[in-house]
């Protein structure tokens, strides 16, 4: 088995993006959403760079991450990417990359329970924001 803790932030974010999106898609379908157009629109409330940056800031403010988790967030955030988000500024995009890096790290190191705890927290946080 490979030591995933040695991966760079962008590689972790690559995996984290996919993992987080699958959880969000599962959640939306489980809530009874079935129309593809509506699913896509709803998913952006959770998976856009803006949403992920908001969630990452909220997690940091709530101090729910361990030191190691914050390290992997920063690794992704500080990675030099040659791409950028279509609808986000560079700061938002980098914070979102850090969020995805954290998700990728938890997934690849098989910290499933912790990953699911954080994703559940994120889903609830987005729900709170949408009610405002």
Q: Residue 63 and residue 45: Cα distance in Å, rounded?
A: 22
- Does this model's pTM top 0.85? My answer is yes
Give the model's pLDDT for residue 27. 96
Q: Residue 3 and residue 23: Cα distance in Å, rounded?
A: 24
Q: Residue 7 and residue 19: Cα distance in Å, rounded?
A: 16
> Is 57 annotated as catalytic?
no
- CATH number, position 42: 1.10.1520.10
Average per-residue pLDDT for the chain: 92
Active site residue: 17, 26, 57, 89, which one?
Answer: 17
Q: 33 pLDDT band (50/70/90 cuts)?
A: confident
* Enclosing domain of residue 120: 4-131
Phi-psi region of 106 (alpha: psi -120 to 50; beta: other; left: phi over 0): alpha
Give the model's pLDDT for residue 132. 67
- Count of structural domains, the chain: 1
Contact 91, 4 (CB under 8 A): no
């Amino acid at each position: 088995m490979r030591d995933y803790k040695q991966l760079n932030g962008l590689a972790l974010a690559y995996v984290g993006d996919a993992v987080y999106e699958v959880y969000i898609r599962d959640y939306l379908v489980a809530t009874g959403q079935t129309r593809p157009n509506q699913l896509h629109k709803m998913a952006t409330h959770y998976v856009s760079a803006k949403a992920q940056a908001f969630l990452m800031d909220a997690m940091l403010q709530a101090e729910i991450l361990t030191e190691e988790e914050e390290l992997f967030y920063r690794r992704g955030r500080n990675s030099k990417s040659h791409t950028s988000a279509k609808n986000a500024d560079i700061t938002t995009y980098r914070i979102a990359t850090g969020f995805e890096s954290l998700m990728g790290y938890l997934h690849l190191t098989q910290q499933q329970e912790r990953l699911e705890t954080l994703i559940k927290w994120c889903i609830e946080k987005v729900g709170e924001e949408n009610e405002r």
